[in-house]
Structures are given as structure tokens and as C-alpha cells.
Amino acid sequence: MSESPSRNGQAKLSLPSGEKVGGGIPWKLKEAFASFGSSGPRLFFAPGRINLIGAHLDYNGGSVLPVPIQQGTYAAIALRKDHRIRLKSLDFVEEFDLDGKALPPASQLGWAAYPIGVWLEAREMGHPLMGFDLVLGGDLKRGSGLSSSASLEVVMGLALLECAEQCVDLEELAMLGFRAENGFVGVKCGIMDQFASALGQSGKALYLNCATREHRHVPLGEDLEILVLDTHKPRELVGSEFNLRVEQCHEALAVLRVGTPEIGHLAAFSLEDVERARAELGAVLFKRARHVVTEVDRIERAVGALERGDLEEFGSLVYASHQSCRDDYEVSCPELDFLVEGVCQADGVLGARLTGAGFGGCLIALARPGAFGREEERRLAGAYDRAFGRPLTVQHLQLGAAPHELDLG
Ligand code: GLA
């Protein structure tokens, strides 16, 4: 595999024919694209992510620490000179042939709401875009908490802007996806996932302040292995439960701001502020706010620990984050809790927590390299199967790269 720089400074990957990147997805996309009968597509990729710590802080003005992963979303695309939009996905049977000037609402578009939302936002920003032909595919399981939607939005934005020969600013690319998801799609997510996918660098975590959007990359070092454990419990009710948490945080903020209206984010309050307002907040909002302010403290300490190389401390803060997600934010589930406890029992596992929104999907575990091998995995999978009747998949994480174009030659 060779790399050459492209116009926006991103690496352009050239793949020798037959190389099985992404399980051969780029080639499958090219094949599926051929049935449009339009001229050859360009191919792009954007990664998914895990978040090490900073759970549910992005939409509360706190910081997050995501890492891009090797899996993600691929797009084969060609722009058109009319307003027709044709969409296919390797993962859905439903195909779309739409008139870009008379689009149905997002609720009637299923999976297509995501690429269409990005196209609408890009046009809103003034980019000169007509219709397009698109095939999407990826190796991120939907609902697994690894951010398939943000990687789709980022790859879509990159593909559209590159093909229209527009300058690609990575922060703008992330914001394009964020606005598409909050606007047209209607999920009130924060900016973490899109920033992680657009600005991620291999082998580094992105330490992002979601209030100011200031960020820096923090090297993960050689002594840390990240495992991703899939509960095989699909996230349920995630849209509505997720939006409910966002609403509860807005309500808690409204209570806490009385007397200090200049404070705009829940993450800016201290634990003392939250304790003082306990009666006014009521039991549920108190717990939600306590998670946010204690998580702010944990992520600051965790980044310090990671930079000092104090991985024990880092791991224990990650584990404390899970407990807070479970007890105060109530976004865990019995399957995630069981596996977090189980994996942490192995020698050399430093900490574990749910990743993404929660409610099911995946957890991450931080381990000394080689500490959690096949034998530990077999034992935990057996116990998990006995307790929940579900399989367990453990992946030793391959760190991902920045979004890029692929050249299939
Ligand atoms: C989802 C959202 C993110 C973030 C996480 C929780 O992945 O899309 O914006 O809020 O949940 O940390």
C-alpha cells in the first residue's frame, strides 16, 4: 500500500489490486456502483471511533478523549450535472432514486437521511453541488457504539467536497456532519464523534474541549492495548433515550444557572454547586448533573495520567467513569456491567467502560499488551453465555487513520 498527498493534505491511499482493505469493501462498492451505468466513481473512507473517557460530556460543554479505529465507512461517489440523487448501500436492501429539488422528509428516508442530510448542509454552506450517485458500505456494526453514523457523515462530506473541488477544512467537515445529524436526521448528539472521525490521527487520542473546540493529540504509547468487547446486545431506544438525557441536562443546567446566567454549560459547574442545588434539581436531574461534573474531573486527571505514563491511574479513572455512567447517568445495561466487571478481573487489565452512548453495544477495556489473551477470552465468553445466552466478540483494537481517498487503480 502506498500513500501520496492529495489536495486537502489528507493521504491518498493506493491499493494494489486484490488487497483486502476493509474486507474488500472498496471493491464491492465499485462493483455495486457499476449498475448505475454512470462513469467511474471516486472512493473515500472515514473511521469510526471509541471514546476512552469523557462520557456524555460533548453536548454538556466538557472534554472528550476519542480514538479513531480501523473500521469505518467507505463511499463510492460520482457527482451528476442534474438534480437526481441515486443511493445504494451494501448494508441495506432499500435503494433510493430521488429528485434533489423535491426531497421527502428524513422520516421517510431511512438510512438515506444521513447522506442526504450532509448534502443539504453542504449546499446550505454554499458549496456548488447538484445531484450524485453514491454507494456506501462499511465494517462498523450499526448500534455497536463505534459511531457508524458519524463516520458515514464525515466520509460523505469529504467525498462531496473533494469531488466538487472545494477546500476541505477538517473542523468544518466535522461540523457539517454534526449539523446534518442534529438538523435533518434529528439526533441531538454532541460534536465528539464527527471530530474523532475527521481529525483523528493513528496511535493518538484526540483531547477535545467541546465548548471551545480546542484540541490536541495525545500519544497512546506502546504499553497500552485497547480491547473492544461486543455485548451483541443491540442498543435499544437509543434515539429517544439519548435525546432524553440531552433534555435532562438542559433542565439541570436551567436549575443550576439561576443566579449565574453567564454559565452556559453543565460541565462548567462544580460538584459543590450540584450538591448545593440537590433539592431544586430533584433525584434524577441531580444524578445526571453529578455524572457530568465528576466526569469533567475524571477526564482532566485521566489525560494527565496518560501523559505521565501512569496507566494504572488512567485505567482506574476509566473504570470509575463506567460506574458513574451506570449509577448516575443510567446509560448502561446488565450485559455491559457484567463484561466490565468480568474483563477487569484479568491480571493486567487496567480498566473498562462502555463506549459510545451506552444502552448496549460495545465496551472498551485497557490492558497491558498481551494480558487478555485467548484463554481469558474463552473463560469470559463462557460465563457471559451462561448468564445472558449471548456470544461475546473481543477485538484487539487496530488504531485507525484519518479520513482519506482510496485509489483502486
Ligand atoms: C453518542 C453521541 C456523542 C456522545 C456519546 C456519549 O455517541 O453521538 O455525541 O454524546 O454518545 O459520550
Structure confidence by residue, pLDDT tens digits, 94-134: 999 999 999 999 999 999 999 999 999 999 999 999 999 99
Q: Phi/psi class of residue 124: alpha, beta or left (left: φ > 0; alpha: ψ in -120 to 50)? A: alpha
CA 16 to chain centre: 29
Determine the average pLDDT of the residues in 338-354: 98
Q: Are strands 84-89 and 362-367 parallel, antiparallel or unpaired?
A: unpaired
H or E element in which residue 405 lies: strand 404-407
* Best mutation site among 49, 52, 58, 154 for ligand 1 pocket (most ligand atoms within 8 Å of CB): 58
Q: Please give the share of the chain, as a percent, with pLDDT higher than 70.
A: 93
What is the three-class DSSP state of 95? strand
- According to the model, what pLDDT value does residue 239 have? 67
Q: Which is nearest to 96 in space by CA: 80, 123, 118, 115? A: 115
Per the CB < 8 A criterion, the answer to whether 396 and 4 are in contact is: no
Sign of CA dihedral 105, 108, 110, 115: negative
- According to the model, what pLDDT value does residue 372 have? 96
Q: pLDDT grade, residue 142 (50/70/90)?
A: confident
Q: pLDDT grade, residue 5 (50/70/90)?
A: very low
Integer angstrom CA distances of residue 229 from 56, 263, 355, 365, 395: 20, 38, 10, 8, 6
Q: Name all domains of the chain by residue range, CATH numbers in brackets.
A: 2-217+400-407 (3.30.230.10), 225-396 (3.30.70.890)
Judge whether residue 4 has pLDDT over 90.
no
Per the CB < 8 A criterion, the answer to whether 300 and 267 are in contact is: no
Per the CB < 8 A criterion, the answer to whether 147 and 193 are in contact is: yes
For 316-333, the pLDDT digits (tens) are: 999 999 999 999 999 999
Judge whether residue 11 has pLDDT over 70.
no
Q: Which of 161-175, 179-193, 233-247, 280-294 is predicted least confidently? A: 233-247
- According to the model, what pLDDT value does residue 40 have? 81
Distance CA(77)–CA(41), nearest Å, equals 5
In single-letter form, the type of residue at position 389 comes to G
Judge whether residue 209 has pLDDT over 80.
yes
- According to the model, what pLDDT value does residue 1 have? 46
DSSP letter at 143? Answer: T
Strand segments (E) across 16-123: 42-51, 63-64, 66-79, 84-89, 92-99
What angle is formed at CA 46 by the lines to CA 396 and CA 305, rounded to 5 degrees? 50
The finding on whether 336 has its CB within 6 A of some atom of ligand 1 is: no
For 32-76, the pLDDT digits (tens) are: 999 998 778 999 999 999 999 999 999 999 999 999 999 999 999
- According to the model, what pLDDT value does residue 6 have? 44
Query: Look-up: residue for cell 422528509?
Result: 105
Q: Is 193 a catalytic residue?
A: yes
**How many A from CA of 191 to the centre of ligand 1?**
8
- According to the model, what pLDDT value does residue 236 have? 66
Query: Which phi and psi (to 5°) does residue 6 adopt?
Result: -110, 180
Q: Please give the share of the chain, as a percent, with pLDDT higher than 90.
A: 83
**How many A from CA of 49 to the centre of ligand 1?**
11
C-alpha cell at 73: 465507512
Per the CB < 8 A criterion, the answer to whether 146 and 356 are in contact is: yes
Among 58, 193, 230, 328, the active-site one is: 193
Distance CA(44)–CA(77), nearest Å, equals 8
SS (H, E, C) 294-341: HHHHHHHHHHHHHHHCCHHHHHHHHHHHHHHHHHCCCCCCHHHHHHHH
C-alpha cell at 159: 467525498
Buried b (16+ CB within 10 A) or exposed e, 310-331: ebebbbbbbbbbbebbbebbbb
What is the three-class DSSP state of 263? coil
**What is the residue with the minimal CA distance to atom 12 of ligand 1?**
56
**How many A from CA of 84 to the centre of ligand 1?**
33
Judge whether residue 349 has pLDDT over 90.
yes
- According to the model, what pLDDT value does residue 14 have? 55
Distance CA(228)–CA(354), nearest Å, equals 10
Q: pLDDT grade, residue 245 (50/70/90)?
A: very high
The finding on whether 195 has its CB within 6 A of some atom of ligand 1 is: no
For 154-170, the pLDDT digits (tens) are: 999 999 999 999 988 99
Q: Which is nearest to 133 in space by CA: 43, 45, 38, 46? A: 38
* Best mutation site among 50, 189, 331 for ligand 1 pocket (most ligand atoms within 8 Å of CB): 189
